[in-house]
Structure 1
Amino acid sequence: MQAVESSVQQEQQSKWRQFWDRGGWWKALLVAAVYYGLYQLAGFLIGLAFGDAIDKHDVLANGLSVFIAIAASILVGSILLVLFALSIGWLKELFARQPIRGSWWMWIGVAIVVVFNILRFASVDYAGWDAGAVVAVLFTGLCVGFAEEVLTRGFAVNLLRRGGYGERSVMLLSSLIFAAMHSGNVLSGQNPIAVAFTVVYTFAFGIVMYVTLRVTGNLIWPILLHASTDPSLILLTGGVDASSGTLHPGPLAGIAGLANYAVMIFAIIPIIFVRGRVDRADAYGLVEPAAKLA
């Protein structure tokens, strides 16, 4: 009896993995939608259970407030993504060497993000911050970098490549999914115009993270680059959307403030020049379709 049950479980696991192994754009969208829903649910439940620990006047006031209000739900989402990767046998594959190489010019995108992140960190008014809040913001950045990159440059890119799409389409579609996830900010009461700008910027930033994935050859690097981007912005401004009147940024803040525009301008280059296609037979053991969107 146990042998029969074990055989049935193995067959179900095999079908579950085969379903995802075949890839496809709608599966990439499905994973993102389910993740986003579970992330929102986690945030709601955490708020119900531990909401009293959040500073209602300033969620960034101290480390515990930052963790409960922002980091905790993203940490839950990160754990769920790891469990999903384990369930389909992709965890090692997601962090394996990329099946297609990058071009030298892609390092320009990496350099832009690194330089501007350094400028922002160097301009932060650390005296205006609670030390615990700084640590919590940095931890939050690590969670954001891991969750969003594993989801979009990991699962989405993998599913699109397995679906037979060319690399330009992989880049654009995975970046669109990444940007669409940030459109939900309007539901939290943010200004629609600010959200629209955020969506445009995150699409461009997604392209730069795709370029980083290609040229560095491993998912860990866009994770780390992304993980340093959000905290540098939050610590500099005291929030994501606007500068805080209680903080006094350093003299380099004006230059650092050009980061978003530099990213958006650079993103035009990959849209024009990214080429190539992953050989599905070599990379995944899948037979190439007769024709697919390039």
Structure 2
Amino acid sequence: MDTTVERSSWARFWDHGRWWKALILAVGYLAIYEPASLLMAPFLPFIGNESSTSYVVVLIVVPVVIGALVLVGFGASVGWLRSTFERQPIRGHGWMWIAVVVVLLFNVLRFASIDYSATGFDWVAAWLLAGLVIGFSEELLTRGYVVRIMRSSGRSEIAVGLASAALFALLHASNLFVGQPLLPTLLQILYTFFFGFCMYLALRVTRTILAPILLHASTDPSIFMQGIHPGTGTLATFAQLGNIVVVLVGAVLLVVFLLSERRAGHRDRAAQQGPAGVA
């Protein structure tokens, strides 16, 4: 007796990976998140400025939670949720730990150079919550679903890593359409591409999506809290270089990644052909 559960046409559509399906998913997330953010705008006069807890909760946490719930619902509808959080099948290389260390190091430095005397516990807690939901939703989308779609399409890991980083950058390019000036948006796209690539390397080397989620969850709060209430001294000045360092390190690691994956591809093809070059 066949006990196989027949997949719905919806699930079968997403099971057959194509790069444009990953794009559709990313754009669909934006189509939900951005209106959710705009719906919160009327509350702005009643919640104070960016230093208020209500500002963080209403304008940042709530819209992202809405987007995260949609992503969880999507994953449940296609049967991907459990496997997304299971051990990843493709191993990483030791040098990929550099991405994890660099991102974590500057997150710690930024947290250590915030002027906490100017903040309240509730504001810090709100930002930590914001970081957690941001890290969960954006990593679930780009390092979870996008990676799965690209791998199921039979693409190389080069294509998987680049698509994951590029679509992550696309999420932040949407800031251009909500009033952010062009130059800061372009710089943000550059940073988020290489940060996203570092998160892909974190996924590879740890073989669990929890690593990029937690790294991401500590990145956004440390950046924004230090930006609003920066400390003084050499440590704070050095910590503020974090985004530049991530871009530079990410660019170097991207070159190493491209060379490494191409060499691995050549070895695999040579092994398939056999010692005499005959398949």
Q: Please list every run of 5 or more consecutive structure 1 residues that lacks an aligned counterpart in the other structure.
A: 1-9, 239-243, 278-294
Matched to 2:134, the amino acid is V
The residue correspondences of 1:1-294 to structure 2 (distance < 5 A) are 14-48=8-42, 50-51=43-44, 53-55=46-48, 58=49, 60-238=50-228, 247-274=230-257, 275=261
Matched to 1:54, the amino acid is I
Q: Please list every run of 5 or more consecutive structure 2 residues that lacks an aligned counterpart in the other structure.
A: 266-279
Deviation at 1:96, TM superposition (A): 1.1
More helix by share: 2
Deviation at 1:65, TM superposition (A): 2.0
Shift of the 257–51 alpha-carbon distance from structure 1 to 2, 3 Å rule, reads closer
Deviation at 1:267, TM superposition (A): 1.6
Matched to 1:42, the amino acid is A
With normalisation by structure 2, the TM-score equals 0.87
Matched to 2:155, the amino acid is Y
Matched to 2:185, the amino acid is V
> Relative to structure 2, which stretch is displaced further, 157-166 or 36-45?
36-45
Partner SS, residue 267 of structure 1? helix
1:162-201 alpha-carbon deviations (Å, 9 max, x no partner): 1111001111111111111111112222221111011001
Structure-1 separation of matches of 2:191 and 2:38: 27
Partner SS, residue 252 of structure 1? helix
Partner SS, residue 12 of structure 2? helix
8 Å contact from structure 1 (residues 236, 249) kept in 2:
no
Deviation at 1:63, TM superposition (A): 1.5
Matched to 1:263, the amino acid is V
Matched to 1:256, the amino acid is A
1:77-121 alpha-carbon deviations (Å, 9 max, x no partner): 111111100000000111111110000000011000111111000
How many residue pairs match? The answer is 256
Deviation at 1:234, TM superposition (A): 0.8
With normalisation by structure 1, the TM-score equals 0.83
Structure-1 separation of matches of 2:194 and 2:235: 23
Deviation at 1:52, TM superposition (A): 5.1
